[in-house]
Each structure stands twice: as C-alpha cells, then as structure tokens.
A and B are shown apart, each in its own frame.
Chain A
Amino acid sequence: MDFMNTVKAALVTAALVLPVLPQTGLASSGGPPLPQEDWSFKGIFGQFDQAALKRGAKVTIEVCLGCHSIKYIKFDHLRQFGFTEAEVSEMAGGAGLTKQDKLVSGLAPADAKESFGLVPPDLSLMTKARKGYEDYTFAILTGYLTEEDTALVDAAKEDGTLSPEEITKLASALHMDPHHPEKIDEAVKRIANGDHFNKYFPGNFLAMPAPLSAGAVTYADGTEATVKQLAKDVTTFLAWAAEPTQTERKSTGHKVILYLIVLTAMLYAVKRRIWARVHH
C-alpha cells in the first residue's frame, strides 16, 4: 500500500500548508508580475500598522474620496484605530459631511459619467475584489508612467517610427511584450493623446488619471509623502476597510486552533487506549 501512503502524505501536506499560505499577489491573468510589498497585516500573525492606517485614511479622504466612495465605512468607524472623535468630525467636515456619514464621494454619478465615461468603483472591497488582492491595488497606484518613462515615450513619438532599440527600451519601461511592436506603437500614440497608461491594469489604459503625486497630502506624523509611501498607506487602509474584522478573526483563530490541537491530541490518546483492546 505504498501508493496509498503517498496519496495520504500528499493530502495531509496540502491540508496543512494551504490554509496558512498567504494569498499572494498572483499576476492578474496575463499581466506583468505585481510588485510584492511587505504588508503589516499579512500572514497569520499579521496586525495592522496603526500609524499606516491613520495616514492611509487621510490620503483616502483627501484624495480618493474626490471620485470614489467607500460606502461600507462611516467616518465614526475610523475611531477603531486611534483617531479621536474630534479628529473624525474634522475629517468629515473637510469633506462636507458629519461623523455619522458614510465615506461617500461628493462626485455625483452623473457627473462622473460625464467626466470619465463611467462611475468610479466603490473602494470598500477593492483589495478583495481583484486577483492579486492588496498587491494589485498597490500596483495600480504605482503603475503609472514615471518621469523617465514619460521622457522615453516623448522621445519615441517625436521621430514617428520606433527603432528596434526604442522598442526594447519601451517594452521594458511599459512592461509590454517586445514581440508585439505594433501594440507598443499604439500605446505610445494613445499616451501622446493624453490617455492614462498603467502597467498593471488589464489592457493598460484606464479612465483614472494618476491619483497620487509626491506631497499630495501632508502627513501629521512627519512621514515623507512619496508616491510609494502614499500608495502603501492607502492600500493598508483599504485592506482594513475591506474587512475591519480580520484582526479579530485571526486572534480568535489562534485560540480556537490551539484548543482544537490539545483536544484532538487527547482524543487521539483515548482512541489508542481504547483500540489497544482490539486484536487484529
């Protein structure tokens, strides 16, 4: 029954390893691999970095709320990670709302349709609603063209045709396939046209202009507001907003699993004891 034992071993290993594997940022189908950040809240012992949550809430309210709602969260909920009642009221006031209000964008859906052709998606569940999870949200926020990339594109479009050398450079800058120069050419034309290019968005062009720029908000704790920092803080906040109960979930899990392991070990001991009486 060697084969059976191999099957059993495989099943047991899968059962033990799969649940504790982090949900990693698998590249959303076909796109380039997503950047991998260290997230404070990931893993079975992960906890939210409270300072990052506070910074992220500020960026979300001051920047993203201009277009997106986070409709499952009320301003008052933000007190759960350390804001005072006065601070919460002040942030709500800044958006023309009160602390009992939900984080609803001031941008009316009809106006959004007019400006962007669609209503920006609600961000409450964003980090759960895309393959790649939080890595995807972070990738979208940091996946716009850098100044160097833009310079490269500008240089390329000046002379009209793309040289093989330019194609190689552009392919690596835009994370596109060098074997499809016609697609790169088309992308360059659309970028020149003012369309928003993003390395990680499926199909590369989306209706959202780059929402973050260095110094977009002034952090109360003095952290330098680079694009990467802003993106990381917003994403942390959105991961919290997607499931505010996740910290409670994991800490309950530790107790439950510890209890079950002790219980099961005892059941096993009793089982051995009882079965010792049976002669095979």
Chain B
Amino acid sequence: MFKGIMEWVDERLPVTELIKSQATEYPTPKNLNYWWNFGSLALFVLIIQLVTGIFLAMHYKPDAALAFDSVEHIMRDVNWGWLLRYLHANGATAFFVMIYIHILRGMYYGSHRKPREILWWFGVIIFFALMGTAFMGYVLPWGQMSYWGAAVITNLVSALPVVGQDLVVWVWGGFAVGDPTLNRFFALHFLLPFVVFGLVILHMWALHAVHSNNPDGIDLEEKDTIPFHPYFTIKDLYGVGVFLIVFCAFVFYNPNFFLEPDNYIQADPMKTPAHIVPEWYFLPFYAVLRSIDFLGTMSKLVGVIAMGAAIAILFILPFLDRSPVRSFRYRPISRALFWIFVVDCFVLGWVGYNPADATVFGGMPIIYVGRTATAIYFSYFALLWLVTALKVEKPQPVPKSL
C-alpha cells in the first residue's frame, strides 16, 4: 500500500531519490568527531524556538502597557506556559552555545577553506540574523533590561554620519524607545526565525554540494566515507539526548540562571538601572564596542564599526588563511593562535559584563584590558594571515587518506 503510493509520488516528484541521495545514503566522512554534532544540535534548537515561539505568540501582547503582564500571565495562568517561556528563554542561550561551538569548530578544522566558502558565508549570515532575532526577542518581555538594552543598542544607529539622527527616530517609531518600537520588534522577531530557517536550507544545500570537511581537513576518497544513515542519524540522536539532559536541567532546575533579575521589573523609561548589561552572548562584541573610547566624538562610530567588523571579518577568513593544510591538527602555530583567540573571547566577555568604569587588579581601569583584548581579537586574523602567507608555519605531515 505505502509502496504503491510512494511509486505514484516518485513518478511525479522524486522524493525517494532525494531522501536516498541527500539523507540516508549521503556519504559522510567516517572520522568525524563529536564537534561535528553541533550543527544538527543548532538545527534542533531552532526547531525548539520555532515551536515554543509560536505558542508564546498566541498569549503574548506586543503592547507597552500589556507586554510585561502578558508574560507573567503566560508564566502563571497558561497551561504549561512557564515551560514554554523557560524553554524559549533558555533556548536562545542554548542556540548561541551551539552556534559558537559550531563556528569555532569550523575555524579550527579549516571548514571555511576552499571549496566551502559559500557554505561558510551562509553560516555567518545566519549568525547575524540570529543576533538580530535574539536582540529583538529580549525586548519583548518589556522588563527594565529589555527596555534599557534596546535603548543603548538602538542608540548606536545615531552614530552614523548625516542620517544617524533621523534614522534612529525612524527605527524607534518615535523620539524614544516605546510602544511602536515594541510592536515592530515583535513583528520582526516573529519573521526573522523563518528567514533563518530559509538560510539554513541554503546552508545545507551548499554543504551537500561540497560535502563535510573532517578533522584531518583532507579531501576524502570514497572508501573513507560511510552512509549518513544509520551512522550519523544515531550519533546525532545520541547528541540530542545529551544536549537535552543539560538543557532540561537548566529549564527545570535553574531557569533564571541566564536571565537578569532586573528584567523582572517592568520597563520604566524614567528610571535607568544602575548597570545595563546585554545578554551573555553579546558581551564580547559589546566589549569591543566600548573599548573604542579614545577617539573623541568619533569613538561611537568607530566603536560600532569595530563591533560589526569583529563578526564581518569572518567573511574573509577563508582568504586570510593561506596554509596548504586546512586542519589546525597539523598546524602548531595556528593552533596556538586559535586557543589564544578563544581565551581572548572569554576575556572580552568578562570585560563586557563589567561596568565600563570598573577597575581591576588593584586600580587598573578595565578599559585597558578591553582595548588589549580587542587588539588581540583582531590580531588573530592578521597573524593567521601573516604566519601562513609568509610560510612561517611549517605544517606537520598530513595523511593522504584515512
């Protein structure tokens, strides 16, 4: 019966063929390690966000006078509403954990190198869209941090020369963050995840055109690949299981771990919180923004450009790396630079978390740490290019096949 139907469909639309070639029999490197699980995990979290988001939207009210109460209504009165909201709020955090690991994996094993540049670019665009989505989502509960975070970040638009002032009014829909801002952020927060979903399809298309990289970073022969099913279906499912244990432990036992207490106070435009902090996943970039404070009136604009560049530089990463070898497994200098870069990102995050005028290590303004860490951040890309373009690094011997 089922076979009969499938035959009928296949004659008109080759579904079986697609599933075979792109999923079940899709050739996959047999040496992939667990760092390769984070792509499927990111997709899994995207689905969690889409599903919980739609149900939240059925009860949420995008109105400055009602938004905060409607979130509490979800938490208290809607059946399983607390679960929806905690899944969604922690889902945003999980998404960034997955994405950051996924990106760093790519940087370490050279997954962005020829012929995977377009695949990588779609990834960077997804990352940008995700940041926009999360930023606007965080505004929706309309707590103090929602409001003031939105105020600080949208204000950056005003740094743009000539049009900045008018543009920020246009973005706000008024002369300050307010009801119109909340309303449009809700519309965009609803839309963008579906744009992300479309981008993910393009990302997968590009992946399937060139196939996965692998920890050795070498081009594999047919004998070194195995069919996706059952090997990677089961491995990815196992990954989902482990992920869910950790994720649910947060959702059920410590759901406010990543949320700011201030966001349980309703937004009050007359009362600035003592210390405005963005969500943890923006902190490194926030630190880059604030570390440019020595250029007088130009500081803000240059800060914004630096912040954007800190991510956009990923676009040209495939061309900065000139080494004949992809994987850092065989590249000692690049590997050292990479780990310095990772530690540096954590330092930037810590700087971003602290107030701009904080002092550390007995009196040193934290801004010095921020500037140094920002310089190190960008140096990674410059040094990676220098070390490989000038052939300073001598790669270790690479296996021809597995």
* Residues on A facing B (Cβ under 8 Å): 3, 15-16, 18-21, 23, 29, 44, 72, 121, 124-125, 128-131, 133, 202, 242-245, 249-250, 252-253, 256-257, 260-261, 263-264, 267-268, 270-271, 274-275, 278, 280
The answer to whether B340 has its CB under 8 Å from any CB of chain A is: no
Besides the known contacts A253-B252, A278-B226, 19 further A-B residue pairs in the complex with CB atoms under 8 A apart: A19-B249, A23-B256, A44-B253, A124-B72, A129-B261, A129-B264, A133-B261, A253-B249, A253-B251, A253-B253, A256-B252, A263-B241, A264-B245, A268-B241, A270-B234, A270-B238, A271-B238, A274-B230, A275-B231
* Contact A3 B250, beta carbon cutoff 8 Å: no
| Distance in angstroms between the alpha carbons of A276 and B339 in the assembled complex | 33
The answer to whether B1 has its CB under 8 Å from any CB of chain A is: no
| Distance in angstroms between the alpha carbons of A125 and B75 in the assembled complex | 12
| Residues of chain A contacted by B83 (CB below 8 angstroms) | 249, 252
* Contact B244 A249, beta carbon cutoff 8 Å: no
| Residues of chain A contacted by B274 (CB below 8 angstroms) | 29, 202
The answer to whether B246 has its CB under 8 Å from any CB of chain A is: yes
Chain B 250-305 interface residues, beta-carbon cutoff 8 Å to A:
250-257, 261-262, 264-265, 274-275
* Contact A18:B265 (CB < 8 A) given known A245-B76, A264-B241: no
| Residues of chain B contacted by A261 (CB below 8 angstroms) | 245
The answer to whether B237 has its CB under 8 Å from any CB of chain A is: yes
The answer to whether B184 has its CB under 8 Å from any CB of chain A is: no
| Distance in angstroms between the alpha carbons of A237 and B226 in the assembled complex | 59
| Residues of chain A contacted by B195 (CB below 8 angstroms) | none
Closest to A17 in B: B249
> Would you give 10 A-B contacts (Cβ < 8 Å), ordered by A?
A19-B254, A21-B254, A129-B264, A250-B253, A252-B83, A263-B241, A270-B234, A275-B231, A275-B235, A278-B226
Determine chain B's interface SS by DSSP, over half rule: helix
* Contact B241 A260, beta carbon cutoff 8 Å: yes
Q: Which of A124, A128, A252 interacts with B252 by CB under 8 Å?
A: A252
* Contact B234 A257, beta carbon cutoff 8 Å: no
The answer to whether B82 has its CB under 8 Å from any CB of chain A is: yes
| Residues of chain B contacted by A19 (CB below 8 angstroms) | 246, 249-250, 253-254, 257
| Distance in angstroms between the alpha carbons of A3 and B235 in the assembled complex | 24
Q: Lowest 7 A-B CB distances belong to which pairs? A: A253-B252, A264-B241, A19-B249, A129-B264, A267-B238, A19-B250, A125-B264
* Contact B82 A245, beta carbon cutoff 8 Å: yes
* Contact B76 A257, beta carbon cutoff 8 Å: no
* Contact B265 A15, beta carbon cutoff 8 Å: no
The answer to whether B309 has its CB under 8 Å from any CB of chain A is: no
The answer to whether B31 has its CB under 8 Å from any CB of chain A is: yes
* Contact B265 A20, beta carbon cutoff 8 Å: no
* Contact A264 B252, beta carbon cutoff 8 Å: no
* Contact B253 A268, beta carbon cutoff 8 Å: no
* Contact A249 B252, beta carbon cutoff 8 Å: yes
* Contact B72 A72, beta carbon cutoff 8 Å: yes
* Contact B226 A257, beta carbon cutoff 8 Å: no
Interchain nearest-CB distance for A76 vs B (Å): 13
* Contact A274:B82 (CB < 8 A) given known A23-B256, A264-B245: no
| Distance in angstroms between the alpha carbons of A124 and B69 in the assembled complex | 11
* Contact B245 A260, beta carbon cutoff 8 Å: yes
| Residues of chain A contacted by B75 (CB below 8 angstroms) | 243, 245
* Contact A264 B242, beta carbon cutoff 8 Å: yes
* Contact B402 A280, beta carbon cutoff 8 Å: yes
| Distance in angstroms between the alpha carbons of A264 and B275 in the assembled complex | 41
| Residues of chain B contacted by A29 (CB below 8 angstroms) | 274-275
* Contact A257:B254 (CB < 8 A) given known A3-B339, A264-B238, A278-B30: no
| Distance in angstroms between the alpha carbons of A245 and B402 in the assembled complex | 54
The answer to whether B248 has its CB under 8 Å from any CB of chain A is: yes
